[in-house]
Structure 1
Amino acid sequence: MGLTATRVKAAKRGFAKSRGGRPTRDAAIERDQRLIEVATRLFLERGFDATSIDAVAETARVSKPTVYAQYGDKRGLFAAVLRREIARWLAPLAAAAAEMRVDSASDRSVEQRLTDLGRQLLTINCSADSIAFSRILTAQAINFPEVAQLAVDEGWSKAVSTTAEFFDHLVDSGALALEDTTIAAETFLNMVVGHAHRMATFGIPFEMATAEQRMVVSIRLFLAGAIGPPDRLRDAAKGKRRPAR
C-alpha cells in the first residue's frame, strides 16, 4: 500500500510517462542526473553521516524506492557521486594525454607542458569540493573500505596510468629518459599536488601562489632526473627517436 501510494505521488510530480506507466528514457535520465546533483550537494554540505536517503529523495523530488532501486543504499549512492567527481578530476590528465597523442611536435617545452598540467591538477585537487570528498573518504575508509578502494582504483590508479601514458609519449620522442613511467607518474603527482592537497585536507591555511611556486620548483627537480644526459637532449633536438621498446 505504501509503495503504491509513493508511485502515485511520483507520477504527480510531472515525469513524462511511457505507455507502461514508467518514466520515458529522457525523463529517467533527467531524474537520475538531478538525483546525483542533489546527492553531491548534500554530501558536500552535510557530510556522509548527516546525509539521509530521505533528504536526497525529497530534495531531488523522487521516491525513496527509486533511490534504493537505483543505488541499493547510501553507500551505493555515494559511490555513484564519487565516480562522477573522479571523472571530473581526471579530465585534465585525459585531455593532456590526448593532446600528446595528436600533437607530439608542439612548440611548448616539456617543462611548460608539465607546468600547465600541474597548474590544472593543483587547482582541481585543492578545490573546496575535492577537499570535502577527501575528508569524507578519510572518515569513512575504515567503516566502508570498498568505497576507499573505489577511490584508489578509479581515482589514483587511473590518474597514475593516464600520467604514465603522457610520459610514454615524451619518452618515445626522446624528450625524457625514464626507466619506469608508472613510478615516474606516481612521483610526479605526489610532488606536484600531494603536499598542497594534504595541507588543504588537514585544514592548514596556505596561499595558492605559494603552492604554485612549490609546484614549479618540484617540476624542475623532477625534470632534473627525468631529462637524462646532455646527449639525449641533443638527440631529441635533432629529431632522433629512441629505439623501439
Structure 2
Amino acid sequence: MMSDNKLKKNSSCFVKARRGRPPQMCLAAREAAILRATAQLLLEIPFDDVTMSLVARTAGMSKRTVYEIFKSREDLLVRAVINLARTIFLPLKAEDAKRPLSERLSLLLRFNAPSGEDMNKLELLRSVIAKAQTYPVLAHELYTSGRGTLVGFVRAELESAIASGEISLPQGDIDMAVDILLDMALENPLTRLLQPNAQQPSDLEVERRREFAIAMFLRGIAP
C-alpha cells in the first residue's frame, strides 16, 4: 500500500481540465495507477492473461497510454513485480534498532504478504520460474527485490551485532550465515510448488519455525 505522503502527492497530481471535461492525471499518477492495476491482476489471474489491453481496461486508460509509459509488456511486468516483491520484507523501523538481535531478526523475517489468494501468489511464482529463460530480467528482479532485499537487511544486522559483541562470527562467513538462517527460518517454496495441494502452514506454525530457527542460529554463533 502507498504511504500517506504518496497518496497526498498523487491526489494532487492532476491537471485541471477545461469545463465539461474530467481532470487529467499527471504522468506519475498514471504510472502509479497502471502499476496498481497490474499488481492486482498478477495476484488474481494467470500470468499469461495479464495483457497490456487488460491492464489498460483495469486502470481505466487506453492501451496507447499504457504504452506511452511502459515500452513493453515485460517492462511493465518487471516494474509491477518489483513493487510487489519490495512489500514482502520490510526494513526495521528506527525505534526497533536498539532491540536485541533476536528481536531484530524476528521482525525482519516476517512476511508482509500482499493481499490476494495464496494459491494465486504461488502460481505467480511458478509462472516466473517457468519463464525465467524467456524473461530473465523479471526473474532476477523478483529474486533481488524479495529474498535479495531481505539478505541485505539481515546481513546489516549481523554486521552490527558483530561490531557490538552480541555475536561472534568471522567476517568471511557472514554471507553463508545469512543464507543458512533464511533457509532455516523460511519455508522452502519448492515444497508447495511441487505439492500444490499440501496444507499451508498456519500463522502459528510459521511463527514457531521462525523463532526456533533464530534461537538455534544464535546459539551457534554466541560469543
Q: How does 1:1-245 map to 2 (within 5 A)?
A: 16=15, 27-91=26-90, 94-95=91-92, 98-99=94-95, 103-104=97-98, 106=99, 109-118=100-109, 120-121=110-111, 124=113, 128=118, 130-179=121-170, 180-195=173-188, 197-202=189-194, 203=196, 204-208=198-202, 209-227=204-222, 232=223
Any gaps of 5 or more consecutive residues in structure 2?
1-13
Secondary structure of the 2:154 match is helix
Secondary structure of the 2:28 match is helix
2:47–2:124 CA contact under 8 A, matched in 1: no
Identity, % of aligned positions: 23
CA deviations on 1:190-234 (whole Å, 9 max, x unpaired) are 211143x4444442213322232222222222112121xxxx3xx
**CA distance in structure 1 between the aligned counterparts of 2:68 and 2:26, rounded to whole angstroms:** 16
Secondary structure of the 1:90 match is coil
2:52–2:73 CA contact under 8 A, matched in 1: yes
TM-score for the superposition, normalised by structure 1: 0.69
Distance 1:51 1:223, change over 3 A: same
**CA distance in structure 1 between the aligned counterparts of 2:85 and 2:215, rounded to whole angstroms:** 28
**CA distance in structure 2 between the aligned counterparts of 1:163 and 1:113, rounded to whole angstroms:** 9
2:101–2:157 CA contact under 8 A, matched in 1: no
Task: Out of 209-218 and 82-91, give the one that drifted further.
Answer: 209-218
TM-score for the superposition, normalised by structure 2: 0.75
Shift of 1:53: 0.8
The alignment's C-alpha RMSD in Å is 2.8
Distance 1:111 1:156, change over 3 A: closer
1:111–1:220 CA contact under 8 A, matched in 2: yes
State the AA in 1 paired with 2:149.
K
CA deviations on 1:12-60 (whole Å, 9 max, x unpaired) are xxx73689xxx86x63322222111111111221122112111111221
Alignment match, 1:9: none
The structure with the largest helix share of the pair is: 1
Q: Give the 4+ runs in structure 1 shifted more than 6 A.
A: none
Distance 1:50 1:83, change over 3 A: same
**CA distance in structure 2 between the aligned counterparts of 1:186 and 1:31, rounded to whole angstroms:** 39
**CA distance in structure 1 between the aligned counterparts of 2:174 and 2:215, rounded to whole angstroms:** 17
**Greater C-alpha Rg:** 1
State the AA in 1 paired with 2:156.
E
Shift of 1:89: 1.8
State the AA in 1 paired with 2:168.
A
**CA distance in structure 1 between the aligned counterparts of 2:46 and 2:122, rounded to whole angstroms:** 12
**CA distance in structure 2 between the aligned counterparts of 1:87 and 1:57, rounded to whole angstroms:** 23
**CA distance in structure 2 between the aligned counterparts of 1:211 and 1:178, rounded to whole angstroms:** 27
**CA distance in structure 1 between the aligned counterparts of 2:102 and 2:41, rounded to whole angstroms:** 40
**CA distance in structure 1 between the aligned counterparts of 2:37 and 2:63, rounded to whole angstroms:** 14
Shift of 1:95: 1.8
**CA distance in structure 1 between the aligned counterparts of 2:146 and 2:215, rounded to whole angstroms:** 26
**CA distance in structure 1 between the aligned counterparts of 2:201 and 2:145, rounded to whole angstroms:** 29
**CA distance in structure 2 between the aligned counterparts of 1:81 and 1:125, rounded to whole angstroms:** 12
